[in-house]
């Protein structure tokens, strides 16, 4: 796709259309509980001077593992309550009544809950208790939000799964047949740009909170994880700070890998004699013994059933460690800023970003586990598709966030031109559903990264909450010409 010759920064016109989403349900839509869970997990609240409903001070060391199956919402959270560190589970609700309504007070699986997080601002008349009769303190989250809950909802990042997927052709397919595909392409471009603006805002807040390098490190490592392991990787990044990883990488390229393996519990105590990886393992083991004796392993469970071996956590962490080694002299922010500031074509800039990632080399080029068989052909620990996803979903928002912090419009234009020229990343389930839903039997556009991001944003905003297309406010957008400023008085068919 050709780059835009006369850009003027990332457009936020799509945000005007999003404000009309409430019309779909003919009134303000309720806040899903999953949004409040995301606010807790992403720490989108004032995390200083927190107090429980009983007056004790609270410090959140770790929000815990986001549990997608039965049981408490977050497992193994680390909380400092009244000056004492405690490890326990966390349950999130919109209001106090949900604890009993859901039967948690009778369920032994909730006996390790150390904190109930509720959006309701009032103290509970009937405090939650476990099945053993132990009282559980509550955090009244609404007292610690800096922004409106619906604004924060747009910044929540969590995996979306299609349980009973949205299928078939939507009304957009008929609109494209009537008006042509240009207006839809423009809408998808605007939606994709909005998605990057949103990611950049999240990154900017992280950078303000923990510094540019640490924020980029956490986001990068999370993006390296297979979808099932993202939370694991992000917690590892919070427990093993970037400054420490950078220090280790500058001392010995394998020290960063040994540290990540150690904190992730992926460096076993020993291997059987004759195993092919024994010499490499012995080298990492010696580095751990000499330099990492005080680094404790997190209690992580790596469920690899159904995961392609090339996506196993060992390989992806090894690839991340090599990336941190290659950028250790400049630092993460420094390395990315340098590439963004260089006078390069979009193709050359992409090559420069790709050059930061390791090629197929060493033990992990031919192995997926310590004891598995050698692969038929060598491959890089971070595949080409994952690298492209990281460039688009991490490096582009970082470039935009840094440009807007400096109020540098030329730098933002450079990021936008690169974003508009970025090739498509591997498809996911949502994209496979959205293409036929939006375009039907009409000619489909040639996908690039920006169009893919637009489809994901459209799914999030319109198709997932309203699969019937009833009262969808995308219709007036088409009727006024698709200029990104929908008419406020258009009749909704």
**pLDDT, tens digit, 9 for 90 and up, residues 251-268:** 998 999 999 999 999 999
Burial state string for 306-325 with b = 16 or more CB within 10 A and e = fewer than 16: ebeebbbbbbbbbbbbbbbb
Q: Residue 159: its pLDDT value, please?
A: 55
Task: Tell me which of 29-43, 109-123, 183-197, 213-227 is least confident.
Answer: 29-43
Angle at CA 433, nearest 5°, toward 428 and 436?
130
Q: Give the residue numbers spanning the domain of 46.
A: 33-153
Among the listed ranges 20-34, 171-185, 365-379, which one has the minimum average pLDDT value? 20-34
CA geometry: angle 475, 477, 483, nearest 5 deg:
160
Strand stretches in 136-294, DSSP E: 138-140
Residue 489 lies in a domain: no
pLDDT value of residue 43: 85
In a domain, 384, yes or no: no
Joined together, the tokens standing for residue 359 give 């090629």
Q: Determine which helix (DSSP H) or strand (DSSP E) holds 209, and give its type and residue range.
A: helix 182-210
| pLDDT tens figures, 11-51 | 988 988 887 665 444 344 567 888 899 899 888 898 888 99
Go through the chain and tell me how many residues it has. Answer: 493
Check whether 492 has a pLDDT greater than 50. no
- How large a percentage of the chain has pLDDT more than 90? 62
Average pLDDT, the chain: 88
Query: pLDDT band for position 180 (50/70/90)?
Result: confident
Tens digits of per-residue pLDDT, 58-88?
999 888 888 877 899 999 888 999 999 999 9
Q: What is the pLDDT of residue 34?
A: 85
What is the Cα–Cα distance from 6 to 403, expressed in whole angstroms? 17
Question: Any idea which of 6-15, 132-141, 291-300, 484-493 has the lowest mean pLDDT?
Answer: 484-493
Establish if 72 belongs to a structural domain. yes
pLDDT at 303: 87
The two tokens of residue 32 are 């899903």
Number of structural domains (the chain) is 1
Residue 442: inside a domain: no
Residue 304, in any domain of the structure? no
Q: What phi and psi values does residue 75 have, to the nearest 5 degrees?
A: -110, 140
| Dist CA 58 CA 80 (whole Å) | 6
Query: Are 157 and 137 in contact, with CB atoms under 8 Å apart?
Result: no
CB atoms within 10 A of CB 411: 20
Query: Which of 109-123, 397-411, 468-482 has the weakest average pLDDT?
Result: 468-482
Q: Report the pLDDT averaged over residues 322-349.
A: 97
Q: Is 379 helix (H, G, I), strand (E, B) or coil?
A: coil
Residue that wins the pLDDT comparison between 240 and 147? 240
Q: Are strands 84-93 and 113-118 parallel, antiparallel or unpaired?
A: parallel
Determine, yes or no, domain membership for 172. no
How, if at all, do strands 113-118 and 138-140 pair?
parallel
Q: Does residue 240 sit within a domain?
A: no
Buried-exposed string 49-82: b where 16+ CB fall within 10 A, e elsewhere: ebebbeeeebebeebbbbbeeeebbbbbbbbebe
Predicted confidence (pLDDT) at residue 486 exceeds the cutoff of 80 = no
Q: Is residue 74 part of a domain?
A: yes
Which residue, among 457, 465, 459, 464, has the nearest Cα to 29 in the 3D structure? 465
Nearest alpha carbon to residue 399 among 320, 326, 325, 341:
341
The CA angle 221-150-159, to the nearest 5 degrees, is: 35
d(CA 291, CA 307): 32
Tens digit of pLDDT for each residue in 394-411?
A: 999 999 999 999 999 999
């Amino acid at each position: 796709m050709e780059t835009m010759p006369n850009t003027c920064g990332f457009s936020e016109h799509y945000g005007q259309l999003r404000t009309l989403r409430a019309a779909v349900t003919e009134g303000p839509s309720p806040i899903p509980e999953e949004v409040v869970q995301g606010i807790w997990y992403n720490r989108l609240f004032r995390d200083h001077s927190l107090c429980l409903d009983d007056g004790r001070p609270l410090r959140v060391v770790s929000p815990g593992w986001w549990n997608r199956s039965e049981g408490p919402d977050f497992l193994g959270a680390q909380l400092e309550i009244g000056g004492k560190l405690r490890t326990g589970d966390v349950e999130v609700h919109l209001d106090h009544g949900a604890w009993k309504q859901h039967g948690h007070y009778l369920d032994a699986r909730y006996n390790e809950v150390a904190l109930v997080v509720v959006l309701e601002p009032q103290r509970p008349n009937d405090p939650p208790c476990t099945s053993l009769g132990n009282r559980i303190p509550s955090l009244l989250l609404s007292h610690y939000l800096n922004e409106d809950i619906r604004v924060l909802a747009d910044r929540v990042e969590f995996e979306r799964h299609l349980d009973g997927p949205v299928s078939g052709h939507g009304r957009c397919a008929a609109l494209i047949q009537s008006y042509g595909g240009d207006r839809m392409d423009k809408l998808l471009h605007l939606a994709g740009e909005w998605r990057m603006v949103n990611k950049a805002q999240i990154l900017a807040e992280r950078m303000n909170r923990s510094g540019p390098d640490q924020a980029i490190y956490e986001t990068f490592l999370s993006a390296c994880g297979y979808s099932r392991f993202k939370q694991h990787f992000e917690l590892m990044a919070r427990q093993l700070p970037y400054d420490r990883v950078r220090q280790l990488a500058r001392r010995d390229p394998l020290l960063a890998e040994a540290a990540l393996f150690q904190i992730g519990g992926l460096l076993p105590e020993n291997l059987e004699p004759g195993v092919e990886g024994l010499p490499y393992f012995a080298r990492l083991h010696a580095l751990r013994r000499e330099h990492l004796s005080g680094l404790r392993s997190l209690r992580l469970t790596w469920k690899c059933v159904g995961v392609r071996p090339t996506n196993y956590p060992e390989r992806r962490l090894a690839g991340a460690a090599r990336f941190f080694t290659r950028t250790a002299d400049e630092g993460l922010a420094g390395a990315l800023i340098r590439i963004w500031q260089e006078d390069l074509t979009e193709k050359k800039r992409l090559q420069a970003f790709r050059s930061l990632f390791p090629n197929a080399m060493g033990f992990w080029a031919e192995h997926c586990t310590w004891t598995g068989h050698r692969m038929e052909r060598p491959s890089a620990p971070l595949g080409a598709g994952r690298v492209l996803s990281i460039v688009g979903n991490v490096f582009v928002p970082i470039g935009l966030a840094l440009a807007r912090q400096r109020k540098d419009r030329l730098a933002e234009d450079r990021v936008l031109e690169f974003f508009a020229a970025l090739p498509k990343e591997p498809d996911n389930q949502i994209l496979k559903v959205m293409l036929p839903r939006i375009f039907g039997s009409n000619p489909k556009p040639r996908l690039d990264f920006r169009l893919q991001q637009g489809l994901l944003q459209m799914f999030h905003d319109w198709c997932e909450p309203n699969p019937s297309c009833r009262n969808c406010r995308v219709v007036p957008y088409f009727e006024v010409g698709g200029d990104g400023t929908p008419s406020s008085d258009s009749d909704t068919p």
